[in-house]
Amino acid sequence: MFILHVACTGATGVGETGRLRLGNTINRGVTSTVTTRNEYVDPVIVCFVVTRVQRRAVSCRIHNLDPTTSSFDLFMQEPTNKKHRRETISYIVFESGSYTLTNGLTVEAGKTATSTVNPQGNLNEQRFRGDIVSFNVAFELEPAIFHSLNTYNNNQSFLASSVQRTTTNQFEIALERGKTLVTIDEAEDIAWIAFSTGSSSSDNYVVGRGVSGNNIGRPGRAFDIDLSQGNFFPIDQFTINDVRPDVVISQNTRRDRDGSWARGGPVWNSLEIGVNADEDVTSAKNARHGRTEIFSWAAFLPNTNFTTNIDS
């Protein structure tokens, strides 16, 4: 296992990355309990299905966060409540708060409890307003925002999360139900992590945001993201570890009428990763996702530990 420790005297651990493989969905009773390497008081966790072994739409989700045992449960869920083939999921954990990391990135992490849900068939994104989340300290540029559900309420129905209208000061967040018509009877916790953008070949990271092309659904063409500036390569010719980066990608707009969420595309290696907009519709014709979307991405060496010199 390759672990990156950001060396700095007196540094405090505030976050970590990791990944695992899951062989089926929670609808088939499959979850995975993750034990974190660091201890957290109020952990915030986001995740991303990196691979596309099976084309049918799927999303990942977290529940049963237990700081006393430094653990949480991670699972996949299909809108159709069907089984699913084995996929790889990456995740990022942070202690809730605002930080300047020793690798130079600025981060804010938190959770928002909400029952606000995106409407079905949202023809114009300007018609819908999510819950406004304001940053403790404004970012210099629009940050990359990552989000995932950290609870499993509402009769255990399929739900994802949605972010839109990001500025340097705030963004809007809501639940995403696509066309499933899930009834929201109980609030869900949406975890979110905002990163300043940039890359480093010495600290091995790439964090960014950008606009995709059209037709990024299924079938369609993945939005390919360049990871080469993160220098994700073996240290020497004798290194045989899998140093493909831990990558989390989130959609930061909701422009298509059916709603969607980020899902890994056909490519994931040390140089690039592809992302599609997954939808809950089963018809290939209706899952094309014709509109462009803004995506945020963050790639780090496998099992990175994040540290800061200043306690928040």
Instruction: Report the predicted TM-score, pTM, of the whole model to 2 decimal places.
Output: 0.91
SS3 261: strand
pLDDT value, residue 311 = 47
Report how far Cα 107 is from the mean position of its chain's Cα atoms.
Answer: 15
Mean pLDDT of 39-53: 96
Average pLDDT over the chain reads 87
Mean pLDDT of 6-15: 64
Check pLDDT > 80 for residue 46. yes
Residue 8 binned pLDDT confidence (cut-offs 50, 70, 90): very low
Distances, alpha carbon 153 to alpha carbons 49, 132, 138, 268, in Å: 21, 22, 32, 32
Mean pLDDT of 130-148: 97
Quote the domain boundaries for residue 22: 1-312
Distance CA 69, CA 66 (A): 6
> Which residue has better confidence, 195 or 281?
195
Mean pLDDT of 175-191: 88
Residue 78 binned pLDDT confidence (cut-offs 50, 70, 90): confident
Check pLDDT > 70 for residue 124. no
pLDDT of 195-251, one tens digit each?
999 999 999 999 999 999 877 777 778 899 999 999 998 755 555 566 799 999 999
| AA letter at 40 | Y
Residue 1 binned pLDDT confidence (cut-offs 50, 70, 90): very low
- State how many domains the chain has: 1
